[in-house]
Amino acid sequence: MLYQIYEAQRNLMEPFADFAQAAAKLYSNPLSPFGQNPFAQRVAAGYDLAYRLGKDYEKPQFGITTVDVNGIDVAIHERIEVDKPFCELRRFKRFSDDPKTLERLKGQPAVLIVAPLSGHYATLLRDTVRTMLKDHKVYITDWKNARTVPLEQGEFHLDDYVNYVQEFIRHLQGIYGNCHVISVCQPTVPVLAAVSLMASRGEVTPLSMTMMGGPIDARKSPTAVNNLAMNKSFEWFENNVIYRVPSSFPGAGRRVYPGFLQHTGFVAMNPDRHMSSHYDYFKHLIAGDDTSAEAHRKFYDEYNAVLDMDADYYLETIRIVFQEFALVNGTWDVISQEGELERVRPEDITTTAHFTVEGELDDISGSGQTEAAHGLCVNVPKSRQKHLEVKGAGHYGIFSGRRWRDTVYPQVRDFIAQHDKGPMVKGSGKSSTALKAPGKKVAQTS
């Protein structure tokens, strides 16, 4: 019922938000009679703030049209490579009419970025993608809003997430022979599970895994987010945060953890910071500081855009990752696409290099939680393991912003380049990249 009440309230507020937007434009236009008032700028700022507090935030676009590669503008074409019921595998294909640049692009590594399915859209990693495109062929998991997925498409479980990741890895392997994987926050756990299961079956595993700010072992340095998941019972989550999608959406009747409840939780973690930010925005508008005002808009256009998560996936994540710690305890069984129950065994990974990244001030995934992956992948040589703690960085700073671009990315880029050919297979004289899925041709593309 709460979801229906929220939608009714949102529909009621929509005309007022539209009015506030129109009024803000009217008072800020110097050619308008209302704009001649000495208090016009303040009134316009107030209406603008009211509009942004009351408007509905849709999924943002990646909006990456070009990237600079060694001083050459390279065009980016965004397209969907694989369309699954709950996720799109999105590719950012690069084009250039400069022969030397094109030749360089073709020889660069292919990277699958697994974005979090934890409230925000994959566009939260826009800066990650844009930076990676300079030196890599980039694909990303673009998770769908569960309220847009009709019931006839079936349920979505944490097992399905793991199987999706494996399917996407095989897709890239079929094109390029092999690939690298980067997981940010929540997907570090299912990505490690996916690669572990591939290794257990004897499949070719990715050349490298980079795991950033994720709860591999949520028992270490637990944060407020971890404590909520650990201290509340499974039944509490099922009874208090799960609702059915209203009839006005394609996914009507689907059980979800609604985006608006997640957003409320995000804001509740730092309410003073958000209030201060909105007040600063109001002052920037009055002062005519368009640069600061636009920076505020860009941040909150992304931050306020949230999606619904399928209830089965969300509740299983709470239980398996934050309550049973099944990955680190060695008790996690995943149902494969063929319907078989398989035990997740990270110790079966032997060739995939792994790099863990943590932020010193991360208040989402505490210190040591991601680094714990090294203690699980015990059969990967130490020479193929690396850990980085980014001083002064919070959760978002390790994959977006100045610290990501200046400190983290150069090391991620170098780690991928170092392990792009894979380890030598004993007795063969060839690297493991010579192996590929049966019946698949290896092709080069930019």
Helix residue ranges, H only, 388-442: 402-403, 409-418
- pLDDT at position 136, please? 97
Instruction: Report residue 8 as tokens.
Output: 């009714």
The C-alpha atoms of residue 75 and residue 90 are separated, in whole angstroms, by 16
Instruction: State whether 70 and 13 are in the same domain.
Output: no
Instruction: State whether 130 and 227 are in the same domain.
Output: yes
Least confident stretch, 171-180, 228-237, 325-334, 400-409: 228-237
Instruction: State whether 423 and 376 are in the same domain.
Output: yes
Instruction: State whether 136 and 268 are in the same domain.
Output: no
Q: How many domains does the chain have?
A: 2
Instruction: State whether 357 and 337 are in the same domain.
Output: yes
Say which amino acid occupies 257: Y
Query: Is 422 a domain residue?
Result: yes
Write the DSSP string, 109-120. PEEEEE---SSB
| 392 torsion bin: left (phi>0), alpha (psi -120 to 50), beta (else) | left
How do beta strands 208-212 and 243-244 pair? unpaired
What three-state secondary structure class fits 54? helix
* Segment 164-175, tens digit of pLDDT: 999 999 999 999
Query: Is 246 a domain residue?
Result: no
Q: How far is CA 147 from CA 150, 229, 243, 250, in A?
A: 8, 23, 11, 7
Instruction: State whether 208 and 147 are in the same domain.
Output: yes
The H or E element containing residue 94 is strand 87-95
What three-state secondary structure class fits 37? coil
Instruction: Report residue 289 as tokens.
Output: 């500081």
* Segment 181-231, tens digit of pLDDT: 999 999 999 999 999 999 999 999 999 999 999 999 999 988 888 888 888
Residue 396 CA to chain centroid, in angstroms? 11
Say which amino acid occupies 338: E
Range of the domain at 408: 66-237+309-434
Instruction: State whether 98 and 221 are in the same domain.
Output: yes
Of residues 345 and 34, the one with the higher pLDDT is 345
Place of tokens 């800020």: 28
End-to-end CA distance of the chain: 49
* Segment 93-137, tens digit of pLDDT: 999 999 999 999 999 999 999 999 988 999 999 999 999 999 999
**Total-model pTM:** 0.90
Q: By percentage, how much of the chain surpasses pLDDT 70?
A: 94
What three-state secondary structure class fits 45? helix
Query: Is 336 a domain residue?
Result: yes
pLDDT band for position 355 (cuts 50, 70, 90): very high
Instruction: State whether 51 and 70 are in the same domain.
Output: no
Instruction: State whether 187 and 268 are in the same domain.
Output: no
Query: Is 287 a domain residue?
Result: yes
Instruction: State whether 357 and 413 are in the same domain.
Output: yes
Instruction: State whether 209 and 225 are in the same domain.
Output: yes
* Segment 261-287, tens digit of pLDDT: 988 888 887 889 899 999 999 999 999
Q: How far is CA 154 from CA 18, 84, 234, 251, 254, in A?
A: 37, 12, 23, 11, 9
How do beta strands 110-114 and 87-95 pair? unpaired
190 in Cβ contact with 165 (< 8 Å) = yes
The C-alpha atoms of residue 158 and residue 162 are separated, in whole angstroms, by 6
Query: Is 441 a domain residue?
Result: no
Of the candidates 332, 320, 336, the residue with the CA atom closest to the CA atom of residue 203: 336
Instruction: State whether 372 and 275 are in the same domain.
Output: no
